[in-house]
Amino acid sequence: MEKVKTIAAIKRDIEDHIGDKVTLKANGGRKKILVNNGVIESAHPSIFVVRLENDIQRTVTYSYSDVLTKTVQLYFAL
C-alpha cells in the first residue's frame, strides 16, 4: 500500500531534487497522458518549474497539489 504524503512532504522532496533529471507523466485530459523528460529547475512556495528536454526548450509549471492528486507523477532518475 502506498504511503499518503502531505503537500509539505511533497514540496521538501521536490526541493531536494532541484537540478536532477526527472520523468514527468501528466494527465492531458480526455484520456491523454503526456510523458516528458526534464530537469527540475526551481521550486517556489506553491509551484515548481520543470525544463523539458525535447526538441524545443520550454518550461512547464505544476503545483504541489497536482502531485498530491496524481494529476502529475514524477519519477526521479537514479
Model confidence pLDDT, tens digit, residues 55-76: 778 999 999 999 999 999 999 9
Provide, for the chain, the percentages of residues in helix, strand and coil under a 3-state DSSP scheme, each rounded to the nearest 5.
20, 45, 35
Between the CA of residue 43 and those of 15, 69, 71, what are the distances in Å? 6, 18, 18
| pLDDT exceeds 90 at position 17 | yes
CA distance 78 to 32: 27
Consecutive H or E run containing 15: helix 7-16
Band the pLDDT of 1: cuts 50, 70, 90.
Answer: very low
Give the model's pLDDT for residue 77: 84
Band the pLDDT of 46: cuts 50, 70, 90.
Answer: very high
| pLDDT exceeds 80 at position 3 | no
Say which CATH class 7-76 falls into: mainly beta
Q: Domain map of the chain by residue range?
A: 7-76
